[in-house]
Structure 1
Amino acid sequence: MTPEEFERSAEQVRPHWDVTPLDGVGPLRFGMTVEEVAAALPDARELRRFQADPTFAEVVGVELGWQPTVPALYGYFLGSGQLFCVAADAVHGPLMSLDGTQLTGRNPAELDRWLFDLSDSMGGSLRYGPRANPGIEELGLVLRAQNTTEGVLSRPVLVGREWAERCVDDWEGVIPECEWVGRLWPDPRYSDRREVWPFAEDSPTWYGKWSPPF
């Protein structure tokens, strides 16, 4: 199998999901339980569970995949058992689309201009969080960057209506800490900006008490 054939084959395995802002994505709806998510994704398997945030031990992350040992999708659940946040792996995750534009696995530079236009067409304001991740709170949408063998690619993170307020703010929003650790969004305004969080010389408050799961 040639590299091109392998890439096409892998692409066929990845489902194409439409985002319904604040309500859900593909077959998933915010507020579902772990069991309801499993029933909605019969072809996916649960690979592991982990503590998603060092401060809130009750926030559980569930890693899902369509192939053994290949993470594709992350669902985050509150202590009440409700699904409140979903993130797609940039390489293996569902190809999530909003307003006809694919969000998963894109070059971040291609999405910057689109985000400005989207905020005008669908309502809301484009905001950048303290670590430069762009998002639109009114849509429950944040875009993260992920290092891959193909370079830096986009990783969409979505939250439900009840949790959208300040979701772009990585200090005060509900998105768990594990989704903020790692590669920062390439901010075109700052060419000399450091690229990862936490920075090599920093010691976060969770250092020695909790480790990022990926």
Structure 2
Amino acid sequence: MPGGGEGGMSEGWDDLWPVVAEVEREQWGYVPFERVGPLRFGMREPEALAVMAAAGFACEAEVQRGHIKGKVTFRKSAERGGEPDVTAYFVDHLDAEGLTCVTVDGRGGPQVTWEGIKLIGRVPSQLTAEFLDYVEARDLGFGFSVQGDVFPVDQGFIPATQRAGDVLVTRAMFANPEGWAFTVDDCIPQEAWGVR
């Protein structure tokens, strides 16, 4: 499990950067440009709040400025500190309205599986190896995130990493630019890129 180390070097890390065990994570599927778990791209904020509440997540909403007009954070456990488990961003644009971006926390968010590959809370090099095997077997392209993480292109998500004590774990940002943005990157707010 992330956070463990040689000679007790990480004592106390579990309290500072707790990582939810795989067996305790919600299990979500991902369909590119369609849905992340119960959250469907294009759904309005009240519907997102309802489906997440039904799944046992507490929420906190705030109004944003700029092209992203709404942000809702979700936590499965109110006791767990740090980043929210899931963050949803909503757009209100001339050509599109509704959910446009979902970020899933690497330390405590749900496990999101795409094409049999688990995306969340992983050792980055292991996830990269699975991505490279996937794209090579299908003769597809891959890209690099701004943090240098490898990912299959045109699948509507970008992986990233976060610190968990002395190690890194993977997190992911999912988006659908249809109708208002040019790329997946354009749908991801600056603050989401900055999560560490």
Q: TM-score, length-normalised on structure 1?
A: 0.68
Cα distance change on mapping 1:12 and 1:107 into 2, 3 Å: closer
CA distance, structure 2, for counterparts of residue 175 and residue 131 of structure 1? 14
Aligned to 1:21: 32
Deviation at 1:48, TM superposition (A): 4.3
Aligned residues: 169
Answering whether residue 113 of structure 2 is matched by residue 102 of structure 1, we say no
Cα distance change on mapping 1:164 and 1:98 into 2, 3 Å: farther
Deviation at 1:155, TM superposition (A): 0.5
Aligned pairs (5 A) from 1:36-47: 36-41=47-52, 42=54, 43-47=56-60
In structure 2, list runs of 5 or more residues that go unmatched: 1-17
What SS does the aligned partner of 1:118 have? helix
Aligned pairs (5 A) from 1:143-182: 143-149=159-165, 151-160=167-176, 162=178, 165-168=182-185, 173-182=186-195
In structure 1, list runs of 5 or more residues that go unmatched: 1-6, 184-214
Deviation at 1:11, TM superposition (A): 4.9
Report sequence identity in percent. 25
Cα distance change on mapping 1:58 and 1:84 into 2, 3 Å: closer
State the one-letter code of the partner of 1:82: G
Deviates more, 1:142-151 or 1:86-95: 142-151
Cα distance change on mapping 1:182 and 1:94 into 2, 3 Å: closer
What SS does the aligned partner of 1:109 have? helix
Answering whether residue 129 of structure 2 is matched by residue 119 of structure 1, we say no
